[in-house]
Amino acid sequence: MATPASRPNQLIALSWTSLTPGHRRQIRKRVLGTVLLFLGILVWVLIGTLPLTAYYARLVLRGHIELLSIGVVVGGAFVAAGIIRIVTSLGHRRRR
């Protein structure tokens, strides 16, 4: 008889199917929240490092400086949405 350690894929499949739909929904919300959070931080890093590139000078010369503001706002929206998603996935558990 094979030990559970020799069949890790089956254990993962069994553990995922044993979750209730509510728990799966919470996991999906946390994953989505984490992705949104990191995407927002990535947008902020890109906007923050843009002045170090030659592309920034072209944007400023053409008068498209508002694109940088939009990037900051969009990054902030992603971060806020990610935090909200993560917090709401924690939720309040019902007592039986």
**1-30 pLDDT tens trace:** 555 555 555 555 556 677 788 788 888 889
Q: Does residue 93 have a pLDDT over 80? A: no
User: Residues 6 or more apart from 77 whose CB is under 8 A from it?
Assistant: 40
What is the pTM assigned to this prediction? 0.69
Nearest to 31 by CA among 75, 78, 84, 85: 85
For residue 82, what pLDDT is reported?
94
Q: In the predicted model, what is the mean pLDDT of the chain? A: 80
Selected residue with higher pLDDT from 38 and 70: 38
